[in-house]
Amino acid sequence: MTDMGGDQIEEAVASCAALLRAAAGRDWDGVRAGRLEWSCRRTAEHIASDLIAYAGQLAGRAGTAYVPFKIAVDEGTGDAGVVDVIETTGALLAAAVRTTPREVRAFHPYPFRSANREGFAAMGVAEVLLHTHDIAEGLGLPYEPPAELCARVLATIFPHVRPEPDAPWSTLLWATGRGDLPGREPLTEWRWNNNLVIDTERLTLEGVTPAAAADLHTGGTGGFEWIEGGPFEGTRDASGMAVSAYEKGLHRPEWGIFVLVRREDGRAVGAMGFHGAPDEKERAEVGYDLAENARGQGYATEALRALAEYALARDDVKLLFATIDQDNASSQRVVARAGFTLVSEDLEQFGDELNDGEGSLRLYARDS
């Protein structure tokens, strides 16, 4: 599964325009758009407004708030003209996404106050698909966008939603309160979820979406530009674990994997993260690896300190731990410098599942 980008925005807009142009002679003003309070006309104008707003956020590198502007369709514009505006604003967002560097982030409130180009692309695609559905429902027209497009949206900005492999469109409708899925309670409130980033002096820890994790696990780059020798095997294995958790509905993005991106050149040097959300005792396990060419420069220590401080500042975790092979002296030094203490002599307090039975692992922990 590749990144969300300009091609996907254009594909979504084309599916929208095809339906709306065929319905341009209908009464858009007098009909509500599906479950929305807006008319079909107002909803179509809203699609264009969202697309240009997202383009503006990226192009303007908005840091703390929405760029204070809006567009208005000229008075007297017919419905076909509104479709022209949707196509134009879609092209502008696609261009902004294609020309924005991978590491750039701009303001968006949900949930971590920023999004990168893939996030804005996914949000734009979601707005187009979902509001086209609303209009089609209001006008009594059939509409179902490409399944792969829906799956990419889900795997980018709905990482907390268990996907239905054979029904990504139905899953997306359910996840946004627009439909039902067998065995799942209807949703009345929902938010999409852009990835978390944590900054350090020399690095950015960038949360890996299920879409990026799937690409990493199958031999791709995850959309990152890696230094020579990366990504390392441990990153691909951890990505596979993240994909498995996502497919089971157990993935929690703030307790997932983070790729370590070097600020000086935007290149990824390794990965770090959690083995899952905190357990019933409010404990979480951390793990990490670096590309060989990035080792010995303090990157792992710097990143682990930041990740530990982020996690231990939360209300749902009291202790972090790491299990390290007794022969891996360099990794033991990393965790020690990051504030973890050797507690191997008291393994029983962590449960039998952490003891490999052969004494080949050492356990380090850090609490709040």
Non-local CB neighbours of 133 within 8 Å, separated by 6+ positions: 34, 143, 173, 178
Our CA angle for 24, 25, 31, nearest 5°, is: 85
Q: What percent of the chain has pLDDT over 70?
A: 95
Distance CA 335, CA 310 (A): 16
Mean pLDDT of 77-92: 98
pLDDT tier at 357, thresholds 50, 70, 90: very low
Per-residue model confidence as pLDDT tens digits over 227-246: 999 899 999 999 999 999 99
pTM, two decimals, is: 0.93
pLDDT at position 349 over 60: no
The answer to whether residues 205 and 258 touch, using CB atoms and an 8 Å cutoff, is yes
Rounded mean pLDDT of 146-172? Answer: 97
Per-residue confidence (pLDDT) for residue 102, from 0 to 100: 86
Cα separation of 43 and 48, whole Å? Answer: 9
Give the architecture (CATH level 2) of 6-175. Answer: Up-down Bundle (1.20)
The string of pLDDT tens digits covering residues 164-211 is 999 999 999 999 999 999 999 999 999 999 999 999 999 999 999 999
**Res 2 pLDDT > 80:** no
CATH fold for the domain made of 197-367: Aminopeptidase (3.40.630)
Residue 72's pLDDT band (boundaries 50, 70, 90)?
Answer: very high
Q: Is the pLDDT of residue 1 over 60?
A: no
Residue span(s) of the chain under CATH 3.40.630.30 come to: 197-367
Q: Average pLDDT in the 59-65 region?
A: 96
The pLDDT, as a whole number, for residue 348 is 56
Average pLDDT value for the chain: 94
Bond preceding residue 111 cis, omega within 30 of 0: yes
User: Rounded to an integer, what distance in angstroms lies between the CA atom of residue 174 and that of residue 153?
Assistant: 13
Give the DSSP letter string of 181-211: -TTSPPPS-----PPPEEE-SSEEEEEPPHH
**Is the pLDDT at 354 greater than 90, yes or no?**
no
Contact predicate 192/110, CB 8 Å: yes
Torsion of CA 262, 265, 267, 270, to 10 degrees: -20
Asked whether the beta carbons of 209 and 195 are under 8 A apart, the reply is yes
pLDDT in tens, 5-39: 999 999 999 999 999 999 998 999 999 999 999 99
Domain with CATH 1.20.120.450 in the chain: 6-175
Q: What is the distance between the alpha carbons of residues 16 and 216, in angstroms, rounded to a whole number?
A: 31
* CA–CA dist 255, 242 (Å, integer): 10
Phi–psi pair at 90, nearest 5 degrees: -65, -40
